[in-house]
Amino acid sequence: MPRHILPVDRQHPAIREKIAGLNLDLVETVEASIAKNAVVVVGMAQNPVVRKARKLLRDKGVEFAYLEYGSYMSEWRRRNALKMWTGWPTFPMVFVKGTFIGGAAELEALIASGELDELLG
């Protein structure tokens, strides 16, 4: 089921550029990393779930790029651009071969089922 996103034609023309460009640099940096790396973890400092995802990948011997944006008290407004872009409400955000797979729990399930190996194969 596709998620609902307000169509551009329902945005007033005066604000379209502001919406499109809001923290675009962050999204573009993540997209560039996804294009260069098989696995990318996007996270934030002090988050134990982000640490768990990175540990799962290290324990499995999977190389990954890690992008960290702020902490609980900093850069939260900028991180909202990533949440809006992916539709995912929490960190980490894990990408495998360009596909967003979810967070640490979803990564752990893919490892347990063997599907991560298939995706990386």
Residues 6 or more apart whose Cβ sits within 8 Å of residue 34 = 40, 95, 98
The DSSP call for residue 22 is T
pLDDT of residue 2: 86
77-95 pLDDT, tens per residue? 999 999 999 999 999 999 9
Segment (H or E) for 102: strand 99-102
CATH value of 10-120 in 3.40.640.10, 3.40.30.10, 3.40.50.150, 3.30.70.3420: 3.40.30.10
3-state secondary structure of 50: helix
pTM of the predicted protein model: 0.94
Q: Determine the average pLDDT of the residues in 49-77.
A: 97
Return the CA Rg of the chain. 16
Q: Where are the domains positioned within the chain?
A: 10-120
Give the type of residue at 82. Answer: L
36-45 pLDDT, tens per residue? 999 999 999 9
